[in-house]
Structures are given as C-alpha cells and as structure tokens.
C-alpha cells in the first residue's frame, strides 16, 4: 500500500514539474514574440486595406525582424490603424520619413509589415510616432493582370500561327517571294546585274585614270588624299 502511494506521489510530482516547465516555456515563447523581455517603443501607421495582416505578424526593417504588430483597429470605413512594437535598440535607425508597407515572407507566405529606410538627415522617430505608409498590391489584382497577359499572349500566338500558314501557302507579298521560284530567280538576276555593273564601273574608272587628259586630275586627287592622311597622323602624334 505504501509502495503504491509513493509511486503515485512521484508521478504526481513529475506531472506538476512538467506542467510548470511547459507553462514557463509558453510564457517565454509568447513573451519573445511580444517582445516582453526586450525594451520596445511603439510606432503606428494607417492603411486603407491591410491585405490579411494580423496581430502578431512580424515587422521587418532592412530584411530583419525587429518587432511585431501589436494592435489593429478600424478607425473609419476607409482607414485601418496598425500599431507596432519595435525593439528599442533599432530606434536609432528609424526616421520620421520611413514608410510602412505590407508584403509576404514568400510567394504564398504569411503577411508581414516592413519599414523602409529613411533619409540620413531626417530626425529619429519617437515613441508613439505615426509614420506614413504605402498601400499593398492585392493578390487578386496581380492574378487579373497575369490572366490579361496570358490572354494577350494567346492572341499573339494565334496571329503568328495564321501568318506562318499564309506564308507556307504562298499568300501575300512575302509568301509569294518565298514560294514563287520565278520571282526568286528574277531577284538573283537583278543582284547579278548589279554586281556586273559595279565591276564595269570599276573598269571604266581605271581606264579614265590611264587617260592622259585626266591623269593630272587623278594625281591631284591622290596627292590631296595623301596630305590629308599625313595631317591626321601628325595630329595623333
């Protein structure tokens, strides 16, 4: 009988100790999230739409968690006030012209509140300071924009497919140029004739240079070109 009583007391004692340990751990975790063990100061801001932000959400500055959202209150039909608890040691970096915004910790992560950096010559924010904000971009608006872009891409793809079909069938001016072998041969003949004309022009120019009546003209022209090259070379030196 005494043995069973002692075992019961031991179990009861272990249960109580475990309960106290869990209670202390819970207080520590909650206190850490609420910054109860660190000196803090308050900031507030307002939004038209908080886009899913909740009490307890992280507050980030320069990508670092520096506090939590302490309270969210509807002021009127178009304004929601958000109060933050920020670690005191970060106060020296928070300026009055800093802006608050709402984002996500990932593509589909929890909503967070972030504070942008202010200007270097701006005064420091005080306890209870209200800073300005930038409205968040709604996920629905992003999805709508993506759907519109996808629809436009589908339309463009369909139009390109129709153009390629017409080209392959020889429709339109470009299609005829691609498919019609006679037009292609005519273009080749034109290019050949132009090349031949260019070679003939070069021969005529060479013959003109050999003509004794025009030799003086071409010599003066070559001499002027040489003098110009020499002046350019001297200026570079």
Tell me which of 21-35, 133-147, 158-172, 188-202 is least confident: 21-35
DSSP structure class, residue 91? G
Whole-model pTM: value is 0.47
Question: Residue 236: left if φ>0, alpha if ψ -120 to 50, beta else—which one?
Answer: alpha
Q: What is residue 222's predicted lDDT score, i.e. its pLDDT?
A: 66
| pLDDT value at 164 more than 70 | yes
Exposed e or buried b for every residue in 1-19, given b needs 16+ CB within 10 A? eeeeeeeeeeeeeeeeeee
Assess whether 25 and 61 both reside in one domain.
Answer: no
Q: What is residue 103's predicted lDDT score, i.e. its pLDDT?
A: 86
- Helix, strand, or coil (residue 30): helix
Q: The tokens 């010559």 sit on which residue?
A: 121
Q: What is the mean pLDDT of residues 163-171?
A: 69
- Exposure on the CB side of residue 208, measured as CA atoms within 13 A: 8
Average pLDDT for the chain = 75
Structural tokens at position 137? 């971009």
Assess whether 24 and 78 both reside in one domain.
Answer: no
Domain assignment present for 141: no
Name the residue range of residue 2's domain. 1-33
Number of domains in the chain: 3
| pLDDT value at 60 more than 90 | yes
Assess whether 65 and 128 both reside in one domain.
Answer: yes
Compute the distance between CA of residue 33 and CA of residue 68 in angstroms, rounded to an integer. 7
| pLDDT value at 1 more than 80 | no
């Amino acid at each position: 009988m005494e043995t069973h009583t002692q075992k019961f007391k031991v179990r009861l004692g272990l249960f109580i100790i475990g309960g106290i340990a869990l209670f202390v751990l819970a207080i520590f975790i909650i206190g850490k999230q609420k910054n109860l063990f660190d000196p803090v100061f308050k900031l507030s801001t307002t939004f038209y739409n908080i886009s899913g932000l909740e009490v307890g959400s992280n507050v980030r500055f320069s990508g670092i968690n520096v506090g939590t959202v302490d309270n969210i209150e509807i002021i009127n039909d178009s304004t929601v006030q958000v109060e933050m608890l920020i670690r005191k040691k970060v106060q020296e970096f928070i300026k009055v012209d800093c802006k608050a915004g709402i984002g996500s910790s990932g593509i589909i992560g929890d909503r967070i509140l972030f504070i942008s950096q202010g200007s270097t010559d701006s005064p420091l924010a005080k306890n209870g300071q209200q800073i300005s904000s930038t409205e968040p971009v709604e996920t629905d608006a992003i999805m709508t924009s993506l759907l519109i872009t996808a629809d436009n891409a589908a339309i463009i793809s369909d139009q390109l497919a129709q153009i390629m079909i017409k080209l392959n069938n020889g429709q339109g001016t470009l299609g005829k140029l691609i498919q019609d072998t006679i037009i292609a041969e005519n273009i080749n003949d034109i290019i050949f004739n132009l090349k031949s004309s260019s070679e003939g022009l070069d021969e005529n120019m060479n013959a003109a240079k050999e003509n004794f009546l025009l030799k003086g003209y071409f010599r003066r022209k070559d001499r002027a070109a040489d003098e110009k090259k020499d002046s350019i070379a001297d200026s570079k030196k």
